Structure 1
Amino acid sequence: MLRFVLYCLLLVTGFSVSAQPRSDNFLVRLLREQASPALLRVLDKPDSFHYQLIYTRIDRDKNNRPHFKNFYYRLDANDYFNPASTVKMPLAFLALEKLDSLRSYGIDKETPMLTDSAYSGQTPAHTDTSSADGLPSVAQYIRKIFLVSDNDAYNRLYEFLGQEYINRRLGELGYPDIRITRRFVPMSEEENRHTNPIRFVRDGRTLYRQEPATSHFEFDFSHPYFYGNAYYDRHDSLIHAPMDFTRHNNFPLADARQILQSVLFPGSVPPVRRFHLSPDDYRFLYRHMCELPKESEHPRYDTAEYFDSYTKFFWFKAGHRPIPPYIRIFNKPGWSYGFLTDIAYIVDFEHKVEFMLAGTIYTNSDGVLNDDKYDYEEIGYPFFKEVGEILYRYELSRPRKVAPDLHAFRIFVP
């Protein structure tokens, strides 16, 4: 009986029965020795904040080839966190990969993509006022995903790819634990299995038509995950029970970090784990993964709302700090249900510094989910800011045998 009660308590707090989280003494010691009292209060309460961190040290050899060493703080794939918008990153990569397979139809990333509807809950998309020509395209959706984490852009790529294709392809790439089950709009599980008919057009001609699809992918929902003590459902009714994340998207932190590395440094992973992207695709992604809202003309954003660090959690988000022109951050963050996550590659061209950081934290002191009352400003963003600052200071001070040649990432010249 005692064992059953303990198991139920673990489920309610968001844990599953598993091995201890993985931590490296180097990273634990570095952060704790330099942490402010506020950061220490977070680090001292892992059961409340469910934080996980990966710091990746990058060293170049004499041929400028990067070598990676990961350090972990509480890495635990069984301690579920809601990945929110971080799942938009692999869908952007998969969409470009799928487009490359359609080149024989005269299609590229800028070709207008018109989405129709054919099933319950689906909506069409025939225009996009943010684009230069007023038409939607895969390229424009990807721009909006990385610039401001646009939800509709993600939904349209989800519909272009289809749920089954997404999960099968990620499994082929070596990521069987990633689970992408849904759009970011209220829909039933069955509705999310159905994706829209799509047309690629140019000058009034249909170049390619994709029929509506139904996913038969079999997900593993055998590991239940619950958080909080109450939540608001899609009808704004308060439910006095923990929120069930068992069938939500899942994107383990180590997988997210590895996917980012595989695109920024494709030569560092085996060919079978690389997305099939063209040199132009890579240039396109590098540009828009680090672009700031103020640098974008189409789409154009109000920079008072979408400030420089709007999607840059590590180091900059807290306090809306400006980003120095010699620093670029190639990343994808996510925020939802009290969870904050960021997967980032940070480059300092002036000091020839590069490193990767991935982290997540849960900040929801009242225990109520889906009420838009979370501790992002008080705890979450300061957590990312300080962790980023500590690791950046360490990177500035540590010796390197070979200074990195970072020209491949110098997209914007200050």
Structure 2
Amino acid sequence: MKFLVLITFLFTLSCAHKNEDPILEVLSSSNPKIKTVVDHIQNHEVQILFTEIERIGDSASFKDYSYQVNDSNYFYPASTVKFPIAILALEKMNTDPLININTLFNVEGDSIKTTISDEIKKIFAVSDNEAYNRLFEYLGKDYINSKLLEKGINARISHRLSVPNSDVTTTKSLIFYGNDTIILKTDSIVNKPIDPLQLHNTLKGKGYMINDSLVNNPMDFSLKNYLPITSLHQIMKQLMFPDLFPYEKQFHLSADDRAFLIKTMNILPQEAGYTSDEYYESYVKFLVFGDSKQPLPKHIKIYNKVGDAYGYLTDCAYIINEKTKKEYIITATIHVNKNQIFNDNTYEYDTVGFPFLAELGRQLIKY
């Protein structure tokens, strides 16, 4: 009888482990990189989505887990907005037979000539703001938001990044060249005014800096970009696994452009020509490797887009472990702004944010 009881007990433990939520399991870790955040979880606006990719033959399915996910609770998405903009730029480009991914162009009034492929490389290799801004001029905010809505993605992209008058609603023309001859000039786009977001927590903190002056009022984010982690996670799924979605929800890219985009999402700074010590291999790989400047192991492939600004750190990553043949999608955000002052460049990125996201990613893909 005692033997049967022991077998039943062990079986129950085994089943309980199999049914545990991996996110909750990881967050119960005694590792200080996790525990430091969990012990003060109300201060950090943590949201996490975790998907295990399950494959049977040629078919794939998702096993999803979530923690504190709430699209109504606003957080600043920072550079993660560059992810959908890169996809939509390729999609729009495919509608015009005059241009392709390597056609030279410049924004009107800008002396720099570049290509869509080069701008997308900059976006994923080092999260270049000017590259995003050029593609924003190409698309316009109304086009961006209507296309995302068509694909069932909850988002509101309003503005450029890190430039004066970033929220000007009229875009500039783009001029495309073939053999030093103008082959296409896009129209300037007059977009609708930006409406304030109707969400919780768009007023944040207790103050913010304007140049060297402190304003002792909460900072208003209601006119800022909005891209919740559910939408980032969905964009990754729709890009990586298009056949699991109806045609109207898919991104309509050519096979070559889609392959280019996915390959570029894995690119390291050095592979894109950024050779200074500032751009170490994990420079834009927050999950799993964000707390290390060591070379990345070859068997872990990460296709991702990060964002960091105003104390917010966010990463949306499709991760393949080539040793275990396991695949995951992880999207997570954390806020680290202990003094509750914005624009003072005093954020706990290195001491709290990066260690948390890195350890979270490591433990989830080991679970």
State the TM-score, normalized to the length of structure 1.
Answer: 0.81
Tell me, yes or no, if the aligned pair for 2:73 and 2:199 is still in contact at 8 Å.
Answer: no
In the other structure, the counterpart of 1:408 is none
In the other structure, the counterpart of 1:271 is 247
Structure 1 residues 76, 25: closer, same or farther in 2, change over 3 A?
farther
Structure 1 residues 146, 83: closer, same or farther in 2, change over 3 A?
same
In the other structure, the counterpart of 1:147 is 125
The answer to whether residue 50 in structure 2 is matched with residue 55 in structure 1 is yes
Tell me, yes or no, if the aligned pair for 1:181 and 1:192 is still in contact at 8 Å.
Answer: no
In the other structure, the counterpart of 2:340 is 367
Counterparts of residues 300-319 of structure 1 (less than 5 Å) = 300-319=273-292
The answer to whether residue 217 in structure 2 is matched with residue 232 in structure 1 is no
Alignment deviations for residues 296-355 of structure 1 (CA, whole Å, 9 cap, x no partner)? 3xxx11241111100000110102132101211000000000000000011111221211
Structure 1 residues 349, 27: closer, same or farther in 2, change over 3 A?
closer
Residue number among 204, 222, 229 corresponding to 2:180 in the alignment = 204
Letter of the structure 1 residue corresponding to residue 129 of structure 2: N
Tell me, yes or no, if the aligned pair for 1:34 and 1:390 is still in contact at 8 Å.
Answer: no
Rounded Cα–Cα distance in structure 2 between residues aligned with 1:221 and 1:286: 32
State the TM-score, normalized to the length of structure 2.
Answer: 0.91
Secondary structure of the 2:89 match is helix
Secondary structure of the 1:178 match is coil
In the other structure, the counterpart of 1:75 is 69
List structure 1 segments (4+ residues) > 4 angstroms apart after TM superposition: none
Structure 1 residues 217, 101: closer, same or farther in 2, change over 3 A?
farther
What CA RMSD, in Å, does the superposition of the two structures yield over aligned residues? 1.7
Rounded Cα–Cα distance in structure 2 between residues aligned with 1:340 and 1:101: 34
Rounded Cα–Cα distance in structure 1 between residues aligned with 2:64 and 2:30: 20
The answer to whether residue 327 in structure 2 is matched with residue 332 in structure 1 is no
In the other structure, the counterpart of 1:121 is none
In the other structure, the counterpart of 2:146 is 168
Structure 1 residues 353, 303: closer, same or farther in 2, change over 3 A?
farther
Secondary structure of the 1:318 match is coil
**Stretches of structure 1 lacking an aligned partner (at least 5 in a row):** 1-23, 117-123, 128-134, 395-414
Letter of the structure 1 residue corresponding to residue 65 of structure 2: F
The percent identity for this pair of structures is: 35
In the other structure, the counterpart of 1:213 is 189
Rounded Cα–Cα distance in structure 1 between residues aligned with 2:305 and 2:35: 26
Rounded Cα–Cα distance in structure 1 between residues aligned with 2:37 and 2:343: 22
Alignment deviations for residues 240-290 of structure 1 (CA, whole Å, 9 cap, x no partner)? 111111110000101101101111111121111111100011110111100
In the other structure, the counterpart of 1:46 is 41
Alignment deviations for residues 350-392 of structure 1 (CA, whole Å, 9 cap, x no partner)? 2212111000000011111111110000000010111111112
Tell me, yes or no, if the aligned pair for 1:286 and 1:330 is still in contact at 8 Å.
Answer: yes
In the other structure, the counterpart of 2:107 is 115
Residue number among 123, 130, 134 corresponding to 1:156 in the alignment = 134
Tell me, yes or no, if the aligned pair for 1:196 and 1:212 is still in contact at 8 Å.
Answer: yes
Tell me, yes or no, if the aligned pair for 2:314 and 2:332 is still in contact at 8 Å.
Answer: yes
Tell me, yes or no, if the aligned pair for 2:208 and 2:341 is still in contact at 8 Å.
Answer: yes
Secondary structure of the 2:21 match is helix
Tell me, yes or no, if the aligned pair for 1:179 and 1:219 is still in contact at 8 Å.
Answer: no
**Stretches of structure 2 lacking an aligned partner (at least 5 in a row):** 1-18
Tell me, yes or no, if the aligned pair for 1:27 and 1:73 is still in contact at 8 Å.
Answer: no
